[in-house]
Chain A
Amino acid sequence: MSPSSVQDLSGSRLRIFLFMAWRNLWRYPVRSLLTVCALSGGLAMVIFNASLMTGMTRQMVVYATEVSTGHIQVHRQAFADDQDLYATLPWPWLEAIEADFPQLHVAPRLYAAGLASTTETSTGVMIRAVDAERERAVTRMLGQVRQGEVALGVIDETEQGIARYGVAVGAQLARNMRLAPGDELVLVTQAADGSIGNALFVVTAVLNPMELNFDRMGVVMSLEAYRQLMFLEEGFHELAILLDDLDQLEAIQMALQDKLALLEQQTPLDEWGGPVQVRNWKELNPAVSEMLAVSNSMTLIIGLIIVALASLGMLNTMLMAVHERTREFGILMAIGMKKHWLLVMVLLEALCLSLLSAVIGALLGSWLGLRMEDTGIDFSDMMPDGYDWGGIIFEPVMKGWLEPSHVLYASLMMIVVALLASLIPSWRSIRLKPVEAMR
């Protein structure tokens, strides 16, 4: 007796329901357009916000890695824990890693604490020795020059025949000590053999603020200069490694661990320096990776709130649309329209509204996001020089980054939330019996 159930929602039924839904949408064009505006505006805001946040987190990752840390670092335990001067790794290991992992950029470093003096003032400094050529392939440390030109080799000799090496210093340190390129700097340290190491240097460059501590206390010199100052003949404290493909991070980290374990078997290290540690930038910088996680969930929460607010407009529109058609629905049910067909018809109306809004909102949001990729927002007037957040120094121009998957997910989220919002009114449309609806 029910041939209609056989091909329940056949093509022609769906087609006419869709047709009716579409026509109903334009029965009150102003109301529908306002709803579309609210939904698409909300979606555009979500996409725009996501692109800003993504841009910011990408900048943060770049700062956390490419400025000075690299993606992976290798240390010995005692150096990682206490900056133990003697906890070095042998130089041949660097060459072994470079040979085995030609796709990686590797930079060795040495560190020491010291006292820097000019004729007028003196202050504690952090000495960082690098191999300029390798360093440039891994970080931007030597590229961010404010004044002068980085030169770390021998600059000249004093009248007594002592070579003076070039150094680069942090901007804040330069300001505090009134240093400018060409000035002489005396560095005094406790050398590796226990003696007092001291030498004359020439400031060749002042570096832009990148890391908080380095900006205040950093002095960069060559490995060669360091060895002469510190009487440390062998090895390096730190290996900073840069990957071209960040997706490989965990895999490369594991491979490096294996390789280093093998090297340790071949040339056992002394005991007190502790085992070798291979850590990625997230482990080295947990604050940043936590901040990234927080900002990702913030983006999601903000998105949900905006979309939910916009969907209230949808809820209202559909409530009105259903309410004013109560009698029409009653008559349709009386002549034989099934309740679930009616539900489909009302939901199709909501689907049309949300799809239309999704397309417009996605286009608008992407356009805004792309504009942010191009121009960004310049905060340089509002931020002090070298403004930092959790030790990370921010670039004054905030750039967006439009992730196509974000556009897709935000649009889907909006469609789903809007449809959920329209479920309540749709449900009301079929709750009544036909005679009640017609009364």
Chain B
Amino acid sequence: MTLVRLEHISKTFRQGDIEVHALTDINLQVEEGEFAALVGPSGSGKTTLLNIIGGLDSPTDGRVHLNGTDVTALNESQLSDFRLFQLGFVFQAYNLVPVLSALENVELIMVLQGRPESERRERARHYLDLVGLGKVMERRPSALSGGQQQRVAVARALASGPRLVLADEPTANLDSDNATALLDIMHKLSHEEKTTFLFSTHDPRVMERAERIIQLRDGKIEHDKVIADVQAQ
């Protein structure tokens, strides 16, 4: 089943008199359960595309359909709810609220969702266990390593029960061991939780983990290939 469908997406940024065509006529479908990487050189439009899919930015042209909803037609408040209930986000760094512990950070999103307290606690512990942080749940972000912080962010994204997790360069601030470890966790959870992942990266070792690689260049899709042998695992 198709989860994300992009139709003729274009994005033009205006800076004074200069127009930057960040994306031009992007057509793309992401199927449910995919673990897809968005790659391409700096400035190719990866962040812009992820932001548009996540309803954080609106395209200049074209439509975004996600799980049957026309994202481009939602107002600000609907978008906010849409992100809260349908999407999970992992950003490059500083994902977490510094004054809350890892556990509280994961719980926070479920508080926003209005889930009951007992369910919150249980789910938060469960996902922190899954990302291997069962022992450090009570620590605040400042007492966690960069890799651990990103894993908390992954746990938070999944705990909200999203259809799609969007991750913009989740490993950019990590050394390559931590980067591949984070990717392995994301990959495993994508299968176990049957959650679709779309992430961007520069890192060749991270790309190796992807089941599909969408290559962007100058705001256009250059290649889009499903890597069969990874999917077969």
Q: Decide yes or no whether A5 CB sits under 8 A from chain B.
A: yes
A16–B111 touching, CB < 8 Å: yes
Please give, as numbers and ranges, the residues of chain A lying within 8 Å of B108 by CB-CB distance: 16
Q: Decide yes or no whether A266 CB sits under 8 A from chain B.
A: no
Q: Decide yes or no whether B95 CB sits under 8 A from chain A.
A: yes
Some 13 contacts from A to B, beta carbons below 8 A apart, are A1-B81, A1-B82, A1-B85, A4-B85, A5-B81, A16-B111, A27-B99, A335-B89, A335-B160, A338-B77, A338-B80, A341-B112, A435-B56
Contact of A332 among B56, B78, B97, B114 (CB under 8 A): B97
Contact of B91 among A2, A4, A23, A331 (CB under 8 A): A331
Q: Decide yes or no whether A334 CB sits under 8 A from chain B.
A: yes
A172–B160 alpha-carbon span in the complex (Å): 88
B99–A6 touching, CB < 8 Å: no
Please give, as numbers and ranges, the residues of chain B lying within 8 Å of A3 by CB-CB distance: 85, 113-114
- Give the Cβ gap from A32 to chain B, nearest Cβ, in Å: 13
A7–B116 alpha-carbon span in the complex (Å): 12
Assuming A23-B100, A335-B83, what are 18 further A-B pairs, CB within 8 angstroms?
A1-B78, A1-B82, A2-B78, A3-B113, A4-B114, A12-B111, A20-B99, A328-B97, A328-B98, A332-B97, A334-B56, A336-B81, A336-B109, A338-B77, A341-B112, A433-B56, A435-B56, A438-B91
- Give the Cβ gap from B14 to chain A, nearest Cβ, in Å: 15
B112–A13 touching, CB < 8 Å: yes
Q: Which residues of B109-132 are within 8 A (CB) of A?
A: 109, 111-114, 117
B100–A333 touching, CB < 8 Å: no
B84–A4 touching, CB < 8 Å: yes
Q: Decide yes or no whether A119 CB sits under 8 A from chain B.
A: no
Q: Which residues of B70-108 are within 8 A (CB) of A?
A: 77-78, 80-85, 88-89, 91, 94-95, 97-100, 104, 107-108
Q: Decide yes or no whether B40 CB sits under 8 A from chain A.
A: no
* SS class, residues of chain B in contact with chain A: helix
B99–A7 touching, CB < 8 Å: no
Q: Decide yes or no whether A24 CB sits under 8 A from chain B.
A: yes
Most central of A1, A331, A335 by chain B CB within 10 Å: A335
A333–B91 touching, CB < 8 Å: no
Q: Decide yes or no whether A408 CB sits under 8 A from chain B.
A: no
Q: Which residues of A73-99 are within 8 A (CB) of B?
A: none
Asked whether A2 and B94 contact (CB < 8 A) given A23-B100, A334-B56, A335-B89, the answer is no
Q: Decide yes or no whether B54 CB sits under 8 A from chain A.
A: yes
Complex interface bits, B38-55 against A, C-beta within 8 A gives 1, otherwise 0: 000000000000010010
Residue of B nearest to A17 (CB): B111
* Range of interface residues on B (Cβ < 8 Å): 20 to 34
A334–B89 touching, CB < 8 Å: yes
A27–B83 touching, CB < 8 Å: no
Q: Decide yes or no whether A434 CB sits under 8 A from chain B.
A: yes
Q: Which residues of B55-74 are within 8 A (CB) of A?
A: 56-57
Please give, as numbers and ranges, the residues of chain B lying within 8 Å of A334 by CB-CB distance: 54, 56, 83, 89, 91
A2–B108 alpha-carbon span in the complex (Å): 17
Q: Which residues of A315-363 are within 8 A (CB) of B?
A: 327-328, 331-339, 341
Complex interface bits, A1-43 against B, C-beta within 8 A gives 1, otherwise 0: 1111111001011001000100110010000000000000000
Please give, as numbers and ranges, the residues of chain B lying within 8 Å of A433 by CB-CB distance: 56
Name the 10 nearest CB pairs between A and B, nearest first.
A336-B84, A23-B99, A2-B81, A336-B83, A435-B56, A16-B111, A335-B89, A4-B114, A338-B80, A24-B99
A20–B97 alpha-carbon span in the complex (Å): 9
Contact of A27 among B80, B88, B98 (CB under 8 A): B98
Please give, as numbers and ranges, the residues of chain B lying within 8 Å of A12 by CB-CB distance: 111, 114, 117
A20–B104 alpha-carbon span in the complex (Å): 10
- Give the Cβ gap from A6 to chain B, nearest Cβ, in Å: 7
Please give, as numbers and ranges, the residues of chain A lying within 8 Å of B97 by CB-CB distance: 20, 328, 332
- Give the Cβ gap from A15 to chain B, nearest Cβ, in Å: 8
A434–B112 touching, CB < 8 Å: no
A336–B98 touching, CB < 8 Å: no
Please give, as numbers and ranges, the residues of chain B lying within 8 Å of A20 by CB-CB distance: 97, 99-100
A4–B86 alpha-carbon span in the complex (Å): 13
Asked whether A333 and B80 contact (CB < 8 A) given A10-B114, A20-B99, A327-B94, the answer is yes
A12–B98 alpha-carbon span in the complex (Å): 20
Residue of B nearest to A6 (CB): B114
A338–B85 alpha-carbon span in the complex (Å): 13
- Give the Cβ gap from A437 to chain B, nearest Cβ, in Å: 10
A339–B108 alpha-carbon span in the complex (Å): 15
- Give the Cβ gap from B224 to chain A, nearest Cβ, in Å: 25
Please give, as numbers and ranges, the residues of chain A lying within 8 Å of B81 by CB-CB distance: 1-2, 4-5, 336
Please give, as numbers and ranges, the residues of chain B lying within 8 Å of A338 by CB-CB distance: 77, 80
A148–B82 alpha-carbon span in the complex (Å): 92
A338–B78 alpha-carbon span in the complex (Å): 10
- Give the Cβ gap from A8 to chain B, nearest Cβ, in Å: 9
Please give, as numbers and ranges, the residues of chain A lying within 8 Å of B94 by CB-CB distance: 327-328, 331
- Give the Cβ gap from B88 to chain A, nearest Cβ, in Å: 8
B112–A337 touching, CB < 8 Å: yes
- Give the Cβ gap from B61 to chain A, nearest Cβ, in Å: 18
A341–B108 alpha-carbon span in the complex (Å): 13
Asked whether A435 and B57 contact (CB < 8 A) given A4-B81, A24-B99, A334-B89, the answer is yes
